[in-house]
Structure formats: C-alpha cells, structure tokens
A and B are shown apart, each in its own frame.
Chain A
Amino acid sequence: GQSLEQPSEVTAVEGAIVQINCTYQTSGFYGLSWYQQHDGGAPTFLSYNALDGLEETGRFSSFLSRSDSYGYLLLQELQMKDSASYFCAVRGFLGDSSYKLIFGSGTRLLVRP
C-alpha cells in the first residue's frame, strides 16, 4: 500500500522561506504531486516531480529524492495569501494504464505579518 507523512502545521513570517516535508512509502513510484487548498476552497495543483531534483515555478519549488522516499515543497517570499493547507500526493497503480492519487493528511501553513 501507500502512506505519506507530512507535518500537521507550520508557522512562518511574511517574506520568509518555508519548507514543507513529505516522506512516503509506496509499492511502485509514479511521481509526487503537491496541491494547495485554502479554507473552504478546492485543492489546486502546484507541482509534480517524477525525477530527482528541484522543480521551480515562480515562488514555489518542489524537490524529490526517490532514494530517500522524500520530497519537499519550498515557498519563498511568503505572502499572507499563502496561508493554506498543502498536500503531497503519490500515485498508486490501478492496472490497465490507470493510476490514482493518494493524498497525505496535509500541512496547515500559517503566515504571520
């Protein structure tokens, strides 16, 4: 089966940098995704890593180390609007070229002025 672990809550100051870690256990690895969800809102896709290394998209970067079953989301130049929950997710194989996403329990990020 698959399982993911991420911290339940992180607090940081506006303008700072914060890293949200995710460790996973999975039978077969098909990529690590990150989603953002504001309170009362729907999850929105942030990034996807299939290979080791860093992927950068504006203020957000995501890192993957397949040998360590570990990834992180890095948020730079934090803004108040970044206060949200962040979920890492891995894909599970369903067969017939079909896959499903398994989400972690989420990290609640609070950005303070």
Chain B
Amino acid sequence: EAEVAQSPRYKITEKSQAVAFWCDPISGHATLYWYRQILGQGPELLVQFQDESVVDDSQLPKDRFSAERLKGVDSTLKIQPAELGDSAMYLCASSLLALPGPYEQYFGPGTRLTVT
C-alpha cells in the first residue's frame, strides 16, 4: 500500500539553528500539505501545494519558515532560525485532489521536532 514518506522521524536542534524536513507524497497525488500539530491540539495547516504552486500559506510564519515543491512531487519545509515555540510534530499529507468530497488526505508518520 502506498504511503507518504517523511524524514527525519525525530529531530533535536538548538534554537537559532536551521532545520529541514522532507516529504514524499503518494505517487500521483497533486495536492500536498504541511501541518504543525502541538500536543493536545488538532493539526494546523501551514502550507498547501497544488502541484508545484502554493495555494495557501496564510498560517506559515514566513519570516522563518519556507516550503518548496519544485517539481511538483516531493517537498521540503525549512525553519531558520528555529525557536523554542517551534517544538511540535510536523505532518505531511497528500491527496489526489483538494476538492470537496471523500478525497481523503493521507498523512505521513510525521517529524517530531524538539528545539532546545
């Protein structure tokens, strides 16, 4: 069964350092999502791609976060510099389409980031 791949699974970094996360969506899925999930809360969308284009990054802290999906396949999310408040689970998801309907999102295992 096809899965969304993410790496690394765990990352510990010191504040002010740079960190990057990688995601490979399910083959053929045009829509890719990056979420941040703080313990005890629901996933919060950071950025949504349709192919290689960003369709929503309204919740992305653009002064320190950046995301790209250059060839419309895999994607990288970067934080520079990392802050203590960035400690969270970063989830990547993909879906065939971003339309209403049972176009479910498939989530990867996530990257647990700890900033010290």
**A contact set with B: CB distance below 8 Å:** 30-31, 33, 41-45, 48, 50, 87, 89, 91, 94, 96-106
Please name all residues of chain A whose beta carbon is closer than 8 Å to the beta carbon of B50 when the two chains form the complex: 98
Given contacts A103-B42, A106-B41, contact A42 B98 (CB under 8 A): no
Q: What's the Cα separation between A3 and B43 when bound, in Å?
A: 13
Write 8 A-B pairs (CB below 8 A) sorted by A numbering: A41-B109, A42-B107, A44-B107, A45-B105, A96-B55, A103-B42, A105-B40, A106-B40
Check B100 against A99 for contact (C-beta < 8 Å). Answer: yes
Check A100 against B56 for contact (C-beta < 8 Å). Answer: yes
Please name all residues of chain A whose beta carbon is closer than 8 Å to the beta carbon of B41 when the two chains form the complex: 105-106
Task: Tell me if B61 counts as interface (CB < 8 A to partner A).
Answer: no
Q: What's the Cα separation between A89 and B107 when bound, in Å?
A: 14
Please name all residues of chain A whose beta carbon is closer than 8 Å to the beta carbon of B104 when the two chains form the complex: 33, 45, 48
Q: What's the Cα separation between A63 and B66 when bound, in Å?
A: 38
Check A103 against B43 for contact (C-beta < 8 Å). Answer: yes
Check A94 against B56 for contact (C-beta < 8 Å). Answer: yes
Known: A42-B109, A50-B101, A100-B56. 20 other contacts (CB 8 A): A31-B101, A42-B91, A42-B107, A43-B93, A43-B105, A43-B107, A44-B107, A94-B48, A94-B55, A97-B99, A98-B99, A99-B99, A100-B45, A100-B48, A101-B45, A103-B42, A103-B43, A104-B42, A105-B42, A106-B42
